[in-house]
């Protein structure tokens, strides 16, 4: 299906892929600043934001196919820079492995290359069944929200926490269930990392409760020539918790690419 996307600015294309269970609104600060230099495209994955859930079965590779279908539909054939946060990063890694000619730069933010361990996959299936039964996303809000931000962010930016809570709560139970199962079934992309041939920037949050810094360091070390930037005062949502530092890191990387 053709997913919905928001576009701003003109110039070289930067596609930003959101995390779970969020939507493209998480990129507001990047769109505002980076669209002065780039054509910034922020799609909503199926079942998130403005894109309906088209199929009860989702996969990370299918989400990557949807991004390519979006580019094709908009006659974008030039290689683009793709950035993904967490789940968006899993999709970006699928894109670079499966459509290497469509990318010229890669931004991996608050994400990992490995697949779920069996215990995590089981927890996701339990969660999928519970939200389906409840018919709402309350459980994912309760379990994930406390871990999405750096502990300090809950006190320093309560409006930001509240706005993301609302986005999470508005993601339907069927979308949360289908996406949780897609996350649990995703491919381990660790063996692909040494084959990445395009410039890559890895961004990590100094206080990410979901992705330990050591994993971001190992991922950056495995990708030839990759850079690593640690964003201070941020947890799993660096582009929202510390947009100035994140935008500076992204801009610096994109300027070096040009």
Shortest Å, Cβ 7 to ligand MLT: 22
Shortest Å, Cβ 56 to ligand MLT: 19
Nearest to 171 by CA among 8, 6, 16, 26: 26
Q: Output 144 or 201, the one with its CB closest to ligand MLT.
A: 144
Q: CB–CB of 211/114 below 8 Å?
A: no
- The torsion defined by the Cα of 128, 131, 135 and 141, in degrees rounded to 10, comes to -130
What would the two tokens of residue 192 be? 């692909």
Q: Output 169 or 210, the one with its CB closest to ligand MLT.
A: 210
Shortest Å, Cβ 32 to ligand MLT: 22
In whole angstroms, what is the distance from residue 239 CA to residue 204 CA?
A: 10
Percent helix, percent strand, percent coil in the chain, to nearest 5: 50, 15, 35
Shortest Å, Cβ 20 to ligand MLT: 4
DSSP state of 56: S
Q: Output 16 or 183, the one with its CB closest to ligand MLT.
A: 183
> Is the peptide bond prior to 235 cis by the omega test (within 30 degrees of 0)?
no
Q: Output 87 or 103, the one with its CB closest to ligand MLT.
A: 87
Q: CB-hemisphere CA count at 13 Å for 48? A: 28
Shortest Å, Cβ 89 to ligand MLT: 8
> 57: burial class by Cβ within 10 Å (0-12, 13-18, 19+)?
exposed
Q: Output 210 or 218, the one with its CB closest to ligand MLT.
A: 210
Shortest Å, Cβ 255 to ligand MLT: 27
Q: Are strands 227-231 and 200-205 parallel, antiparallel or unpaired?
A: parallel
Q: Output 210 or 230, the one with its CB closest to ligand MLT.
A: 210
Q: Which residues bind ligand MLT (CB under 6 A)?
A: 19-20, 86-87, 183, 210, 236
């Amino acid at each position: 299906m053709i997913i919905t996307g928001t576009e701003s600015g003109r110039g070289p294309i930067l596609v930003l892929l959101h995390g779970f269970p969020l939507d493209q609104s998480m990129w507001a600060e990047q769109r505002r600043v980076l669209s002065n230099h780039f054509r910034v495209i922020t799609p909503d994955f199926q079942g998130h934001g403005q894109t309906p859930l088209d199929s009860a079965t989702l996969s990370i590779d299918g989400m990557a196919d949807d991004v390519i279908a979006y580019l094709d539909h908009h006659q974008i054939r030039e290689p683009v820079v793709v950035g993904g946060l967490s789940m968006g990063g899993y999709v970006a890694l699928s894109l670079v492995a499966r459509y290497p000619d469509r990318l010229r730069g890669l931004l991996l933010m608050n994400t990992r290359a490995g697949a779920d361990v069996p215990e995590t996959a089981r927890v996701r299936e339990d969660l999928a069944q519970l939200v389906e039964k409840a018919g709402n996303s309350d459980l994912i809000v309760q379990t994930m929200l406390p871990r999405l931000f750096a502990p300090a962010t809950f006190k320093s930016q309560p409006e930001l926490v509240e706005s993301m809570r609302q986005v999470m709560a508005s993601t339907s139970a069927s979308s949360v269930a289908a996406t949780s199962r897609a996350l649990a079934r995703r491919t381990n992309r660790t063996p692909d990392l040494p084959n990445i041939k395009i410039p890559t920037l890895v961004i990590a949050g100094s206080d990410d409760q979901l992705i330990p810094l050591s994993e971001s360091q190992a991922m950056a070390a495995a990708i030839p020539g990759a850079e690593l930037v640690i964003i201070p005062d941020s947890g799993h949502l660096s582009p929202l918790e510390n947009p100035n530092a994140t935008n500076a890191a992204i801009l610096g990387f994109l300027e070096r690419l040009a």
